[in-house]
């Protein structure tokens, strides 16, 4: 009898038209109004953009996932990390910045899963990754032109998010990444920014 009464009460409450509590999760942001750090995929993606904007090799190295796996993909990724860090350092020493270099972050979209199940399953089964997603980040170049960057992000086995900036080195992990449609939900549409 009590169960029937409880069910009736729940049905009446939901039919009363009272609005459902739909609060967005809170996302902590820095002074620039954008997330950073390893707690969220968007934070890692923003930090990658900041590393290039600020010519910050330390931020680049700490934001990118460490080389994993083996074989050709690992060697290619390791070489990429070293070459990119050298390039970031060299760019910071130039008197004149490249007009196509990033100047500011303009827009950050909410992280998304890849449409195909294969990459996330592969990442979990082979490397122990919890998630494989991507974040679209729009930056303004030094010349003022907007550019949208698709950033692959990986949540490691202990829950930290990192960027994987060379998805082509692991085709099974990044299958379908560049054929995903453009993102439409900005982080402010998904999170309450604080």
DSSP string for 78-117 = HHHHHHHHHHHHHHHH-SS--TTSEEEEEEEBPPEE-SSS
Note whether residue 44 is domain-resident: yes
Condensed to tens digits (0 to 9), the pLDDT of residues 131-187 reads: 999 999 999 999 999 999 999 999 999 999 999 999 999 999 999 999 999 999 999
Note whether residue 6 is domain-resident: no
Note whether residue 3 is domain-resident: no
Kindly report the CATH number assigned to the domain that includes residue 35: 3.10.450.50
Tokens at residue 55, please? 């010519």
Residue 61 is part of which domain span? 23-193
Note whether residue 17 is domain-resident: no
3 state SS of 185? coil
Note whether residue 136 is domain-resident: yes
The H or E element spanning position 41 is: helix 41-54
Q: pTM of the entire structure?
A: 0.86
Note whether residue 16 is domain-resident: no
Question: How many independent structural domains does the chain possess?
Answer: 1
**Cα→Cα distances 56→85, 103, 162, 165, Å:** 9, 13, 16, 15
Tokens at residue 140, please? 């303004």
């Amino acid at each position: 009898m009590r169960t029937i009464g409880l069910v009736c009460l729940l049905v009446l409450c939901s039919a009363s038209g009272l609005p459902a509590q739909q609060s967005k999760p809170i996302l902590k942001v820095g002074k620039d109004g954008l997330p950073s750090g390893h707690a969220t995929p968007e934070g890692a993606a923003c930090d990658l953009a900041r590393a290039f904007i600020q010519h910050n090799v330390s931020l680049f190295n700490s934001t990118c996932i460490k080389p994993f796996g083996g074989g050709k993909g690992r060697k290619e990724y390791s070489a990429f990390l070293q070459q990119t860090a050298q390039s970031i350092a060299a760019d910071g020493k130039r008197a004149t910045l490249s007009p196509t270099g990033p100047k500011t972050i303009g827009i950050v979209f909410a992280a998304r899963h890849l449409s195909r199940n294969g990459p996330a399953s592969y990442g979990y089964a082979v490397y122990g990754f919890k998630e494989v997603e991507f974040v679209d980040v729009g930056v303004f170049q030094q010349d003022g032109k907007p550019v949208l960057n698709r950033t692959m992000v990986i949540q490691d086995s202990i829950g930290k998010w990192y960027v994987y900036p060379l998805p082509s080195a692991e085709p099974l992990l990044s299958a379908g990444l560049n054929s995903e449609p453009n993102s439409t939900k900005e982080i402010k549409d998904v999170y309450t920014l604080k």
